[in-house]
Amino acid sequence: MSEITFELNGRRVAMAAAATLSLADLLRSKLGARSIHLGCEQGVCGACTILLDGRSVRSCLMLAAQVDGRAVTTAEGVAERYAELWGEIESTFLSEGAFQCGYCTSGMIVCLSELLDRRLRLTSAEIAERLSGQICRCTGYAPLRSAFESILEKVDLLVREGER
């Protein structure tokens, strides 16, 4: 067991964690962060993506013990942080058909949050490259790409064709 203290979506957590526990299991099973989905547990699918000190990482490829002293954001935290934009994000995902079963969605939201947080201005091709790190078995990606484009456009982070 390791004693760990960290921040989860802005709130301090102090607890003991077994050395064999993954960060993904800690967040979902012990702390109730149901947005953490496990697809592959090998770092490939991106369903378990979180922000660690603001940078996207796979929570299945970290030990719970490694999170001591750091700050974690899950999709729940993204919804809180972007409370004002959240309705817009949800309705855009719906209208574009950017999810079906929803298994990949929280990873997608965390991936989107990383772009919003850093105010990265991206082209459509760069958005596609980011999405290549997140597997979706349902939508065929084009609707996800349009949803990302449309949300980024609203906050002035989309680079239009010919602009760069």
Partner 1 sequence: MKFPPLEYRRAEDLSSACELLAAEGARPLAGGQSLLPLLALRIARPSILVDLSRLEELKGVVLATGGVGGDVLSIGAVTTHADIEQEAAVAGHLPILGRVASHIGHLSIRHLGTIGGSVAHADPAAEWPATCVALGALAEITSRGGVRRAPVAELLVGPYQTSLADGEVISRLEFPLEPGRRLGMAEVARRPGDFALAGAVCSLTQREGATEAVVSFFGVEGRPRPIRLPALSSSELLDEAGREALSHEVAAQLEDVLEDVHASGTFRRHLARVALKRALGEALKEAA
Ligand X SMILES: Cc1cc2nc3c(=O)[nH]c(=O)nc-3n(C[C@H](O)[C@H](O)[C@H](O)COP(=O)(O)OP(=O)(O)OC[C@H]3O[C@@H](n4cnc5c(N)ncnc54)[C@H](O)[C@@H]3O)c2cc1C
Residues engaged in binding ligand FES (CB under 6 A): 38-41, 43-48, 58, 60, 99-104, 136-139
DSSP 28: I
What's the CA gap between 153 and 131, in Å, rounded? 17
Interaction partner, residue 39 (ligand FES, ligand X, partner 1, none; CB < 5-8 Å by kind) = ligand FES
- Interface mask (CB under 6 A) for ligand X, residues 10-49, using x and -? ---------------------------------xx-----
| Site for partner 1 contains 74 (CB under 8 A) | no
Smallest CA-to-CA distance from 46 within 142, 129, 124, 131 is with 131
Q: Which is nearer to ligand FES, 58 or 130 (CB)?
A: 58
Task: For residue 129, state whether it binds ligand X (rule: CB under 6 A).
Answer: no
68-98 core/surface letters (b: 16 or more CB in 10 A; e: else) = eeebbbbbbbbbebbeebeeebeebbeebeb
Residues 117 to 136 in contact with partner 1, rule: CB under 8 A: 129-130, 132-133
Residue 129: name its binding partner from ligand FES, partner 1, ligand X, none (Cβ under 5 to 8 Å by kind): partner 1
Least distance between partner 1 and beta carbon 110 (Å): 9
CA distance 72 to 50: 7
Structure tokens at 46: 């991106």
Return d(Cα 103, Cα 87) in angstroms, integer.
Answer: 20
Residues that bind ligand X (CB under 6 A): 43-44
